[in-house]
Structure 1
Amino acid sequence: MKKQTGFTLIEIMIALLLGLIVVGATISIYIATVGSSASTIRSSRLNHDLESVMTLMANDIRRAGYWEGAADNEDDNNPFTNTDATAGAVTNVNILENGTCILYSYDADNPSPITIVNNEFYGFKLQNNTIMMRLSGSSTTNCNDANDTWQNFIDNNQLTITALQFSFAPIDVNGDGDTTDPGDLPATSRCWNQTQKTSTNQLACTGGANGDYIIQNRIVNIRLSGRVSADQAVTKTLLGTTEIRNNRICVWDGANCP
C-alpha cells in the first residue's frame, strides 16, 4: 500500500503568500483603473461645462448693439450703442471690474417706437468663484447696480470658476509681455475713421476732427479657467475671441465718440 502525503505547513504558507500577492496586485490594478476612470470622467465633465459656458457667453456678447430698426442712414442713431440713449442709459459695451465683468445691451423685443427697457440689459461677471448672468438692469456702467438682476447659471457643486477675463485688447496669457506668443490672444479692437480713412488698433478713438464719421470694430478676448469642485487637481483653461457683429457708429464731436 502506497503511503499518502499532503502539503507541508511551509508549502501551504508559501501558496497563501503567493495568492495574497496576486490578489493584492489585482486589487491595486482595479483601484488604479477606477481612479483613472473617475479622473477622466471629471476632466471630460469639466471640459464640457467650460466649453458650454464659453459658447453661451461668446454667442450672447456677439449680439451686443443689435437694433431691429438699423438702416444705412440710421446706424449712428442706434439707441443700443449710443451713450445718449433713451432715458440717459449708457448702452455702449463696457468691460469693468478689472476685466471680470462685461455689460452690454441689445434689442430683444423690437418695440415700436424703440425704447430701452430693463430686460434688454445683459452681461456676465465673476463672483464668488462662479459666473453670474445678468437678466435685467438699468445701464452698462455698474456691475453692482441695485436695479440689476443677476443669476448663477453654473452648478457650484460640480464646477468652480477660478478666473475670468474679458478684454478689448490682446491678452498676454504667458505673462511675458509679448502678446504674439503661441497661446496668447492677439486679436484687438479697432477704431476706423471713415472720413479720414485712418484706423488705430485700439478701441478708443483719438485725433478725430469735428464731424468725422467713426466706426468702432469691437473684439472681445475671453480667458476662462475652472476646476472640478470635488478635485482641485482637475483644472482647465479655455481661450476664446468673439467679434461683436454690430459695429458702433458715431459722429466725432471734437472730443469723443458720443
Structure 2
Amino acid sequence: MNKIGKVKGFTIIELLLGMVFGMIVLSGATYIYVTVVSSSAATLKSSKLNTQMMSMMSIMVNDIRRAGYWSTFTETPSSNPFSQQDDTAIEVINSMSGDTELTLGSTTSGQCITYSYDENENGIVDADTEYFGYRLNNGNVEMRTVGTVTDGDSCNNGTWTVFSDSDLYTITQLSFNSGDSACVNTREPDGQDNDGANGEDDDDERDCYSQVPTAGSGDTTVETRDIEITMRAALVADPEVTMSITQSVRVRNDWIRIR
C-alpha cells in the first residue's frame, strides 16, 4: 500500500498574519467609504444652502431693481412720488439699531435698504402696500410687507416679516453697498470754476457726489443707482457649512432731482 502523506494546514502565525492583513484592507475600504459618504453629505448640504440663498438673492434683486417705478410718467420726472428724498426714494441704512441713512455713492455698507415703487400702477403711493425693504435682524433676513408705513426711510417703521428659513440656516451677513452709483450735474460743463479750486471748469464738478449742489440752486442732477448685495449664511445643523454670494443690481429708474 502506498503511504498516505501528511496533510499540512496553516500555522497559527500564518493565520494571524492573514487576519492582520485582512483587517488592514477592511479598514482601508471602510475609511474610503466613510470619506465618500461624508463628502457627499457635505456636498448635499452646501448645495441645499446655495439653492436657498440664490432663491432669496434673486427675489431681492428683482424687487430692488423696480425701485422708483412710476406708471404715470410725466415731463417732470423730479415730481415722481416714488423717488422723494427722506421718504420713498431708495435708501441704504446702516442697521436697525442705528437707523441712519448712508449717502448714496458711499463705500460704506448698510444692513438695511428701503424703497418704493408703483406696484398697482395707480400713480400714487399707497402707504400700506407700496413701501418695501429688506433688513438683517437676529440672524434672519426680513422684508417689509403689507402694513401702514409712516416713515418710509426707517428700518424700524412698518410691518416686517421673516423672509429666510431660520430652521435651516442662520444669516451671518446681509449688506447693501451703493459705492458703484453715479451722480451727474446736468449744468456741467458750464465754463465756470464753480468749486473755486483753480480757476478752471474741472471735470469733477460734474460729479454731484463730490460737488453737491447747494439747496435752491436749481441744478438738475441725475443719479444712477447700483446696489451691491452680499449675503452669508451657515447651516443650523452644521455651522461649518457656510455659503457667501454677492450680486449687483442696477436700479432701472434713474433718480432725477431739482436741487
TM over 0.5: yes
Q: Which residue type is aligned with residue 65 of structure 2? A: R
Say whether 1:12 aligns with 2:22. no
How far apart, in 1, do the equivalents of 2:213 and 2:60 lie? 30
In the TM superposition, 1:12-51 aligns within 5 A as 12-51=15-54
How far apart, in 2, do the equivalents of 1:115 and 1:13 lie? 85
Residue deviations 1:122-155, cap 9 Å, x none? 111011112111113513221112xx22222222
Q: Determine if contact 1:93/1:140 at 8 Å carries over to the other structure.
A: no
Out of 100-109 and 149-158, give the one that drifted further: 149-158
| Counterpart selection for 2:129 from 113, 119, 126 | 119
How far apart, in 1, do the equivalents of 2:163 and 2:125 lie? 28
Q: Determine if contact 1:192/1:200 at 8 Å carries over to the other structure.
A: yes
Out of 23-32 and 153-162, give the one that drifted further: 153-162
In the TM superposition, 1:1-258 aligns within 5 A as 1-71=4-74, 73-83=75-85, 90-98=87-95, 99-111=110-122, 114-136=124-146, 137-138=148-149, 139-145=151-157, 148-169=158-179, 188-197=180-189, 199-200=206-207, 202=209, 205-207=212-214, 210-252=217-259
Structure 1 unaligned regions, length at least 5 = 84-88, 170-187, 253-258
Q: Which residue type is aligned with residue 154 of structure 1? A: S
Q: Which residue type is aligned with residue 90 of structure 1? A: D
How far apart, in 1, do the equivalents of 2:33 and 2:163 lie? 37
Q: CA deviation at 1:105?
A: 0.6
How far apart, in 2, do the equivalents of 1:81 and 1:49 lie? 31
Q: CA deviation at 1:37?
A: 1.0
Aligned residues: 225
How far apart, in 1, do the equivalents of 2:144 and 2:115 lie? 10
Q: Which residue type is aligned with residue 78 of structure 2? A: D
Identity value in percent: 33
Q: CA deviation at 1:3?
A: 2.1
Q: Secondary structure at the match of 2:7?
A: coil
How far apart, in 2, do the equivalents of 1:246 and 1:203 lie? 22
Q: Determine if contact 1:203/1:217 at 8 Å carries over to the other structure.
A: no
RMSD (CA atoms) = 2.2
Q: Determine if contact 1:190/1:199 at 8 Å carries over to the other structure.
A: no
Structure 2 unaligned regions, length at least 5 = 96-109, 190-204
Q: Which residue type is aligned with residue 135 of structure 1? A: T
Q: Determine if contact 1:203/1:218 at 8 Å carries over to the other structure.
A: no
Q: Which residue type is aligned with residue 182 of structure 2? A: R
Q: Which residue type is aligned with residue 144 of structure 1? A: N
Q: Determine if contact 1:189/1:201 at 8 Å carries over to the other structure.
A: no
How far apart, in 2, do the equivalents of 1:156 and 1:203 lie? 41
Residue deviations 1:41-100, cap 9 Å, x none? 2222222222222222111111001011013x13121111124xxxxx811111113400
Give the TM-score, by structure 1 length. 0.79
Closer/same/farther in 2, CA of residues 13 and 19 from structure 1, 3 Å limit: same
